[in-house]
Amino acid sequence: MPAADPTQPTRSLDAQAWLDGVEPDGQSTISASRASLWQAIFIRMCIRTAVAYLLVWGVATLVGRVLLHGASASPSGWWAWGGLGLLGVLGWSAWYARWRVPSQTVIRAMLDQQQRLGGLMMLDRDVGVSAWSRGVANVEPLRVRWRGGASLASFAVALAFVLGAGLIPVAAGGADPTRLNLERTLETLSEQIAVLDEESVLDEAKADALRDETARVADEASADDPVRTWEALDHLAEQLRREAADAQEQAQRDITEAGAAGALAEAVQLADGQLSEAQLAGSMDALEQLIGEAMNGQVPPWVQDAMADAMDVGLDAETLEKLRDLMDGREAELVELMDALQGVGLGHGQFGEPVEFDPEALKDWLAEQGDGQCKGGLIAGVCKSGKCPRRGGIHRGPGHAELTWKDPANREEASFDPQVLPPSGWRDPSQSRQLGVSRTAPQVEATEGSTGGGLTHVTSEGGTASDVTILPKHRGAVQRYFERVGLDPDNGSR
């Protein structure tokens, strides 16, 4: 509050007289000022409480989503209950503002201070203040200002936090330290059991038993003993893998048998009366056997009737066509089964090379067989292998032999291991021996061999040139070099 100038009166006594109708004690001004203050305190408390509430709400949302709903979005009920809490915030703020708003006495003092009324606003009416009422005439209500930028920013952040906590997906897991996260594994196992059940790989009872076992493992799963749980799950998975492998192997065989049956039917159709009775009977036996194996014993009745008639009257072209269609359909079924197993992670690829059938060759082979050799089992075996055996001879050999690769050759005798050789030695100066000390250049006899120097008795065989400073003591060595044996003294060549 700025210091007042004592030389200046705050309100002149010579002001105009009291106007009729002006409220003597400024009650409406006080009420308006009080309302403004209540409003400011209410808004301030609303924002601040809402910030705290939103933070709590956001944290509760996060915890609730992790514990109750996993990564799924928050349900609308959660938002509704949270929104109801905001009504509580409003109620609390209204009560707080009512409790905190200054009393009328304080408001009077504030009006008096702000508008420099000299204490007149704080007087009671019964002390005769009406005589001074012109002093408090035209008093304006207080102007209240709330500087709530920081609070509003906090509110925006808290609101964004709540929205983020409710809408952004949260990875479930790890919420309960005593639980194991088995959802994905259990889901995979359930899918595999369902597929095996659908494809009749498992019978109903066994599928139910496996489902019960899976549920029991999930219920008993505990992070305190994860090994036990994972072992149980591995056991279940292994069991399913074995069942699937068996089914796939069987399907592969059935595909081969269905293909063989189809090829035999086509071969008989191609023969068109060229087969003898015995050959035809053997072929029918083989065909019946192959169909039975391909259909896993569930041969349709019309096939059985047709096969029974075939012994007497043979098979007409239409029946043979139907048999081929039946086998093609069976083959397609089995391929679908293999794909379904592959889809749930139970596929194991092909069991052996697929057999290629050649009905033309089979027809020729059938026609070549003697009556005594036309056994149903032999023909069925030849059909399933897809290869017709030959009688031998130069042009009827056993066919191409497959190339086989043995162990790689031993490298021990074919190459040498590199060896690290010691570095070439330079004569170590520290190992040199002192012959004597002289004031002048050493006198070296040309005929005598020097114990020093690297070129004694060395013949030049080329090599590289090098510049070396010749000291007086090396003079003898240099001299010997140019006088060595075999050197032509005239032209310096050998």
Partner 1 sequence: MVSTGERLLTPDEVGPVVEQLTGVLRELDGVLLGQPGLHRMVLVGILSRGHILLEGMPGVGKTAMIRTLGQLLTLDFNRVQFTPDLMPSDIVGSPILEEQDGQRQMVFKPGPVFTNILLADEINRASPKTQSAMLEAMQERCVTTMGQTRTLPSPFFVLASQNPIELEGTYPLPEAQVDRFLFKLNVPRPSAETMERIIDGRRRGQEPTPEGLVDAAGLEQLFAVMDRVVMPPAVSRYVANLVAATHADDPRAPELIKKYVTHGASPRAAIGMAEAARAVALLNGRPTAGFEDVDAVAEPVLNHRMILNYQARFDGVTPGDVVATLVESIDAVDAGLPRDIQVEAGA
Question: Which residues bind to partner 1, rule: CB under 8 A?
Answer: 1-7, 9-13, 37, 40-41, 44, 100, 102, 105-106, 108-110, 112-120, 122-129, 131-132, 135, 139-148, 151
Cα dist from 10 to 7, 23, 33, 137, whole Å: 9, 21, 22, 14
Nearer to partner 1, 32 or 245 (CB): 32
Contacts (Cβ under 8 Å, ≥6 apart) of 358:
263, 386, 388
CA distances from 173 to 63, 218, 462 (A): 12, 15, 81
Q: Which among 469, 473, 479, 470 is positioned nearest to 438, based on CA atoms? A: 473
| Nearest distance in Å: CB 27, partner 1 | 12
Query: What minimum distance in Å lies between the beta carbon of 49 and partner 1?
Result: 13
d(CA 160, CA 168): 11
How many residues are present in the chain?
494
| Residue closer to partner 1, measured from CB, 102 or 381 | 102
From the list 457, 454, 448, the residue with the least C-alpha distance to 476 is: 448
Task: Tell which residue, 247, 23, 41, has the closest CA to residue 144.
Answer: 41
Tokens standing for 179? Answer: 């639980």
Q: What is the nearest approach in angstroms of partner 1 to the Cβ of residue 44?
A: 7
Distances (CA, A) of 246 to 205, 329, 349, 419: 18, 21, 12, 56
Looking at beta carbons only, is 114 or 296 nearer to partner 1? Answer: 114
Give CB contacts under 8 A, 24+ apart, made by 169-177: 169/71, 169/73, 170/62, 170/65, 170/66, 170/70, 170/71, 171/71, 172/66, 172/70, 172/71, 175/66, 175/67, 176/67, 177/223
Residue type, 179: R
Q: Which of 291, 290, 313 is nearest to 302 (CA)?
A: 291
φ/ψ region of 118 (left if φ > 0, alpha if ψ in -120 to 50, else beta) reads: left
Closest distance between partner 1 and the C-beta of residue 157, in Å?
Answer: 18
Cβ nearer to partner 1, comparing 38 with 481: 38
Of 32 and 355, nearer to partner 1 (C-beta) is 32
CB of 15 to partner 1, least distance (A): 10
Side chain identity, residue 114: Q
User: Based on CB atoms, which residue is closest to partner 1, 128 or 418?
Assistant: 128
Residue nearer to partner 1 on the CB measure, 125 or 216: 125
Least distance between partner 1 and beta carbon 154 (Å): 13
Which of 480, 416, 423, 488 is closest to 448 using CA atoms? 480
Distance linking the first and last C-alpha atoms of the chain = 120
The smaller minimum CB distance to partner 1, of residues 84 and 127, is found at 127
* C-alpha pair distances (Å), 340 with each of 111, 203, 346: 87, 17, 8
Closest CB to partner 1 among residues 42, 357: 42
Minimum separation from the CB atom of position 2 to partner 1 (A): 7
- The alpha carbon of 205 is separated from its chain's Cα centroid by a whole number of angstroms, namely 36
Q: Which is nearer to partner 1, 140 or 371 (CB)?
A: 140
CB 1, min distance to partner 1, A: 6
**122 vs 237, beta carbon nearer partner 1:** 122
- Cβ 69 to partner 1 shortest distance, Å: 40
Closest separation between CB of residue 23 and partner 1, Å? 15
- State in angstroms the smallest separation of the CB of 158 from partner 1: 18
In sequence order, the 6+-apart residues with CB closer than 8 A to the CB of 356 are 386
